[in-house]
Amino acid sequence: MKLTHDLSKDEKKLLRGTFWRSITLYAAVSPAKQGASGFCYAMIPWIERFYKNEQDRRAALVRHVSYFNTTVPMSSFIMGLAASMEKQNSQSEDFDVNSINAIKSSLMGPLAGIGDSFFWGVLRVVAAGIAVGMAQAGNIMAPIVFLLIFNIPAQLVRYYGGFLGYTLGSTYISKVYESGLIHILTKAASIVGLMMVGGMTYQLVVFKTTISMSMGGTSVLKLQDMLDQIFIGIIPLSLTLLCYYLLSKKISINYLIFGVIGLGILISLLGIA
């Protein structure tokens, strides 16, 4: 197949290993890292293959335990691309290692949007519709048909996605460096990553206060409306920035999680929100 034409036997073996390891992407999920541990686990064979120095291996492992979250079938493409960048980093002294996580951050959002829409929003519904019709007709093969319709395309995308990511990375990354475009690419990827994080903050961090003032039975002030006039989402944004500041001061993520939960319970009991 064209994707594997220029790859060595060792690289093909590593990519097949990445496919199997990508199954564990969300085996150990944390609120702060999501699938970071699974991503790092998939990258270990590549790290051991490319880096002989123990210090370089440690740096690569730390690099790949950063936040990662995307649809599982799409994850192998980013893994393959990251592997090709690690290869380039091991061969080039002036490689910008920050570009690796920048590319990961910029891709995981758009690929999650594509993957979730297709696999969860379309393919799963189609598979369930066919299976439900078979089940209503008394066909005992209904659950098996559902699993086959959903999983065969998902596993094919996950398998060949790794080969595609690695092949594209190996082909184009060196050219991008030689042309000097890597700095522009890294900057653009960082901007896209920040936009994704900002969008997640707006959607996932929610605060709406119920505090209001009334005179003569008529509402004269609604605090939430006033806050929205100043800056929509100002409280969630402030809370997010505060947590980021505390993280930069080495405050444990566990303390922050329990602190936010406790704060939520407190303001709910007080009737603030």
What spatial distance separates the first Cα and last Cα of the chain, rounded to whole Å?
A: 58
Is pLDDT of 39 > 90?
A: yes
Average pLDDT rounded to a whole number, residues 115-129: 85
Residue pair 66/149 in contact (Cβ under 8 Å)? The answer is no
Return all residues near 49 (Cβ < 8 A) that are at least 6 apart.
10, 14
Residue pair 89/53 in contact (Cβ under 8 Å)? The answer is no
Q: What is the predicted pLDDT for the residue at 153?
A: 93
Distance CA(96)–CA(89), nearest Å, equals 8
Return all residues near 260 (Cβ < 8 A) that are at least 6 apart.
239, 243
Average pLDDT rounded to a whole number, residues 146-169: 91
Q: Give per-residue pLDDT as tens, 209-229.
A: 877 777 766 666 777 778 778
